[in-house]
Amino acid sequence: MLAGFVTGLSLAYGSWTALCIGMDRNYADSHGRGKAPEEKNRMICRLLGTIGLLLTLFVCVKLQGWSVGAVMCIGTMTAGALLLTLLLTYAPEHVVSAGKLATAVSVLSSLLWLLA
């Protein structure tokens, strides 16, 4: 249960990071003032973020079934976004690496959860 929860939360966090990097203002926050993402990178980030959030829904549904899982997915996404907002405010330079780390954690814990 815990491994599944961690999978969902870190995946949601990683996906929000991707979506956020795909937005001009937040990109400038984490990469330096005045910088904007390339059009191609922007699209990739947004696509990855969207897919990640859909996967989060899938993780929650697998954990708790369709009805409860859908509700829990919304909660997981809220928690992930709140965490990201805090990091983006107080340590914007670490946003990208933390997002990558979270995604890696989600892959690892998903292995733990699915194989255990």
Partner 1 sequence: MKPELHTAAMKTVSSTQAVENAIRVLSKEAAGAPRWLITVPNQHDPSLQMGWNMAPAPGATGRGKFVHQELNPATGEKLSEARETAGGDFLYRLHFNLHYLPVTWGRWLVGFCAMFMLVAIISGVITHKHIFKDFFTFRPGKGQRSWLDAHSTVAVLALPYHLMVTYTGLVMLMFMYMPGGVQVAYHGNEEAFFAEAFPTAENKKPADIAAPLAPLAPMIEQARAHWNGGEVHRVIINNPGDAHATINITRQREVKLSSIRQAMQFDGVTGELIKTSGDVSSKAAESRGVMMGLHLAHFTDGWFRFLYFLCGLAGYAMVATGALLWAVKKRNEQAKVLAKGGRLSVGLRLVEALNIGVIAGLPIAYASYFWANRLLPVGMETRAEAEVSCFFIAWGVALLLAQIKPTRRMWQIFLGIGGTMFISLPLLNVFTTGSHLGVTLFQGRGPSAVAGFDLFTLVFGFALLYAAHHLQKKKRALKTRVKIPSQPVVSPKGHEPVTAVASAKRTRDDLISGEAT
Interacting residue ranges for partner 1, rule: CB under 8 A = 1-2, 5, 16, 20, 23, 25-26, 64-65, 67-68, 71-72, 74-76, 78-79, 81-82, 84-86, 88-89
CB of 6 to partner 1, least distance (A): 8
Question: Under DSSP, is residue 4 helix (H, G, I), strand (E, B) or coil?
Answer: helix
User: Phi and psi (nearest 5°) for 10?
Assistant: -70, -35
CB of 85 to partner 1, least distance (A): 5
The residue (of 76 and 103) whose beta carbon lies closer to partner 1 is 76
Residues 22, 46 contacting (CB under 8 angstroms):
yes
Give the tokens for residue 3.
Answer: 């491994």
